[in-house]
Amino acid sequence: MSSTTTTHLWLREETKPMEHRAALSPDVCKKLLAHGGFSITVEESKERTFADSEYADVGCTVVPGGSWRNAPADAIITGLKELPENDTTPLSHTHVMFAHCYKRQGGWKDVLGRFAAGNGLLYDLEFLNDESGRRVAAFGFYAGFTGAAVGIDAWCHQQLHAGEKYPLITPYPNEDVLIAETKAKLAKIGKTPKIMVMGALGRCGSGAVSYARKAGIPEDNIVKWDMAETAKGGPFQEIMDVDIFVNCIYLSSQIPPFVTQQQIDADRNLSVIVDVSCDTTNPFNPIPIYSVNTTFDNALLDIKSSNTAKPLQLCSIDHLPTMLPREASNQFALDLLPTLLQLPTRQTAPVWTRAEKLFHEKVESMATTD
């Protein structure tokens, strides 16, 4: 396709600690450039799973990390996670990223306020939806997949190294290496845990179920819940009866809590919670027993409980798919590609016009929402 107007994508360096994924893979960059009508600038990054040279080899221009601030005005700054913290400068560019500010998360007004101050525009990746309301691209499957991996591994650690701090989580070259490690630990223990996946029918939940199966957890030990099972409203004693609880729901409105402090203070089997959904600062968080995100170097939070005989630990890492950065990035970028190809006509393309309309609605809501 030839075009007199070029759409300029600028892949910024991720600054979130231990984030190794990329919104654009070299393969997708190659496809965009071959399609025509696009130019792509890629910032250098030592953390990204793809080498800078992989982008240069397909025709991208490589520039120093963090230089997006001085990018041409028409450049669309593309990334995954939040921009650097403790920066309140106005944002004048168009940004594509997961901003985590549309559901009244902590600091949401500060984020949107930067766009309003600089007359910038945010296309939030979480809200790029097709005609049916389904996200055009998501890391959900790999979030659930790696979330289940962490949950099972944390349970194994409790069995093999009770009382010891859980080790640093580092990226894996591929899922086969991760699965083999889990299987080896389970074999050493000689038994398998019972795991509940909440939201089992969605992208994220299906990923969690998939990992449990690949790790060798018997089907009878995988409790799969979705909207039908939760219709009665929480809290749910059934969560207390399993060893590992993996929460994979998409929270869109207030719901009764899944668990309560009273429950975890009582007798229970539950010893590991992985909150893949990570609605940590959301006022409607259905797991209201914690309020901080954990990290790859401090993955598990010890939950206070008067049941001292049964420790309870919780993982709330909000970028779990970076454990498998290459596979997760490749899949995400390929899913996003058809929508990226519509960027030259974003003034009329429904996915992009809906996202822009939502951005303006959220900016306007700052004046009327606490």
Active-site annotation holder among 8, 100, 109, 319: 100
Active-site annotation holder among 81, 93, 194, 224: 81
**Residue 81 annotated among the catalytic residues of the structure:** yes
Distance between CA atoms of 42 and 60, rounded to whole angstroms? Answer: 7
**Residue 100 annotated among the catalytic residues of the structure:** yes
What are residue 208's phi and psi, to 5 degrees? -65, -45
- Active site members: 81, 100
